[in-house]
Amino acid sequence: MKPLDYLIIAVFAVMSVVAVIVTCRDKIAAKKSPRNRTPEKTLMLIAFFFGSFAMYATMQLIRHKTKHPKFMVGIPVFMALHAGLIALYLLVLRPMLP
């Protein structure tokens, strides 16, 4: 594996953990107190910055925000974008690296 591979894996891993924690915390806060909720903008930003796969899976698993079109359309769009970036890296950029 190339050094950049480790960085990409680390970023996805960290953002995935963050996405799961924040999504679960928001679900718990939704049941207890609306004051401590995570703003939807924050959730979408975490999904955009490489947490989309984990956030989508977590939302489906704990049934959180699954009736919100903003999330059920927006996060899969981010997933497609991230899959495209991974494919671009693997197929085009990575072979060019020393």
Over range 16-41, report the average pLDDT.
95
- The structure's pTM equals 0.93
**pLDDT at residue 98 greater than cutoff 90:** no
Q: Which of 24, 80, 20 is nearest to 46 (CA)?
A: 20
Residue pointed to by tokens 């977590």: 58
Give the pLDDT score at 27: 96
For residue range 34-93, what is the model confidence (pLDDT) as tens digits? Answer: 889 999 999 999 999 999 999 999 999 999 999 999 999 999 999 999 999 999 999 999
Chain-centre distance for alpha carbon 26:
15
Please give the backbone phi and psi of residue 72, each rounded to the nearest 5 degrees, phi first.
Answer: -75, -15
